[in-house]
Structure 1
Amino acid sequence: MSSQSIIIIAAMARNRVIGANGGLPWTLPADLKRYRALTMGKPMIMGRRTLDAIGQVLDGRDSVVLSQDPARVMPGALHASSLEGALTLARASAGRRGVEAISVVGGEAIFRQFLPMADRIELTIVDCAPEGDAFFPELDPTEWETIREAEMPVSPGDTAKARYLSLKRRRAVI
């Protein structure tokens, strides 16, 4: 068992939409800066379509891509064909980098698979309700508690207002 925490990092609209047609249905430059700060130096687990939407392997982070087809994973990314394989690669990366967290950055199927083992969620709530084809899973309020909430600073180019939530998994008291 590894001591690295698993942190889901996501942005969702009020209607739980996280994606539309292979991209984000909003533009939030401040949220992209926050995403960079939250993920920098840490391994990121994602699906192939999420990496395709990003368009490149991001600097300063290892991209562990969960996909059944290694030929479709872009060069520079680490390929895993199973959840266990992705965790093994991400834990090894975290160990090499000397970090204590693994970021899980999407998409929908990846979030659903990793939600039961996540320790924290860094969630941007975007104040809109766009059409979409990818959704963030429902969170059980008995399992998650908000430990921090803040309005996102408005920046030029924003297409919506947003707020940040930091959630942690509630631990059962025995």
Structure 2
Amino acid sequence: MRISIIVAVDEKRGIGKNNDLLFKIKEDMQRLRKLTDGHPIVMGRKTFDSFPGLLPNRTHIVITRDPETYAAMPVKPHFVVSSLEEGIKKAKTAPGADEIFIFGGGQIFAEAVEKGLVDRIYLTIVKGDYKADTFFPDYGEYTKVIEHEEMVTTEHQFTFLTLEK
């Protein structure tokens, strides 16, 4: 079983602004879809709330201090938990648990990296500074490169990078 993070960052490790992604890049979304399909995803409340709905074929596990919030919501996650550790424990029982994905946001990413819970990071690094207000933590200890692919579109220049410790 592997615990992975999947995230897109700008050159200053920015991941979001005003509770939204900094960029929506078709190729990055396709990669995310392909990698996470059939696997459980663990995320914070704000990240889940930013989704238009449930992502198909994934068990959604949301971390929140206020689980009652989801009782009246039209779109409910599969599981609501109160900590990252509890979320990972729940994910281990879900279909596709050979790889569990941590989806964010910033606080959840920081906690996962700081506690050494993450085996692999799937990064998309987008060229430029997008003036983010939410950032990905330092990932300097992840030095083993599994994948490195440079991409250029008419709108963005970016790199797919897969790292392990």
Q: Does 1:125 align with 2:122?
A: no
CA distance in 2, matches of 1:17, 1:122: 15
Q: Does 1:91 align with 2:92?
A: yes
CA distance in 1, matches of 2:54, 2:118: 23
Quote the sequence identity (%): 33
Q: Is the Cα contact below 8 Å between 1:48 and 1:72 reproduced in 2?
A: no
- Residue 21 to residue 98, structure 1, CA distance change in 2 (3 Å): closer
Alpha-carbon distance, 1:8 to partner: 0.6
DSSP 3-state at the match of 1:92: coil
Q: Is the Cα contact below 8 Å between 2:15 and 2:21 reproduced in 1?
A: yes
The structure carrying a bigger strand percent of its residues is 2
Q: Is the Cα contact below 8 Å between 2:91 and 2:97 reproduced in 1?
A: no
- Residue 135 to residue 98, structure 1, CA distance change in 2 (3 Å): closer
**Total equivalences in the alignment:** 159
Q: Which runs of 5+ in 2 are unaligned?
A: none
CA deviation map 1:116-143 (0-9, x unaligned): 11110000001120111110001124x4
Out of 38, 41, 44, the position equivalent to 2:41 is 44
Alpha-carbon distance, 1:7 to partner: 0.6
DSSP 3-state at the match of 2:112: helix
Alpha-carbon distance, 1:99 to partner: 4.1
TM value normalised by structure 1: 0.85
Alpha-carbon distance, 1:55 to partner: 2.4
Alpha-carbon distance, 1:159 to partner: 3.6
Q: Does 1:166 align with 2:129?
A: no
Q: Is the Cα contact below 8 Å between 1:26 and 1:160 reproduced in 2?
A: no
Q: Is the Cα contact below 8 Å between 1:9 and 1:105 reproduced in 2?
A: yes
**Greater CA drift, 28-37 or 47-56:** 47-56
> Which position in structure 1 is the counterpart of 2:105?
107
DSSP 3-state at the match of 2:159: strand
Out of 22, 29, 34, the position equivalent to 1:32 is 29
CA deviation map 1:93-152 (0-9, x unaligned): 1xxx254110011111111111211110000001120111110001124x4322220023
CA distance in 2, matches of 1:50, 1:13: 18
TM value normalised by structure 2: 0.89
**Greater CA drift, 36-45 or 52-61:** 52-61
Letter aligned with residue 18 of structure 2: N
Q: Does 1:11 align with 2:16?
A: no
CA distance in 2, matches of 1:98, 1:56: 20
Letter aligned with residue 71 of structure 1: E
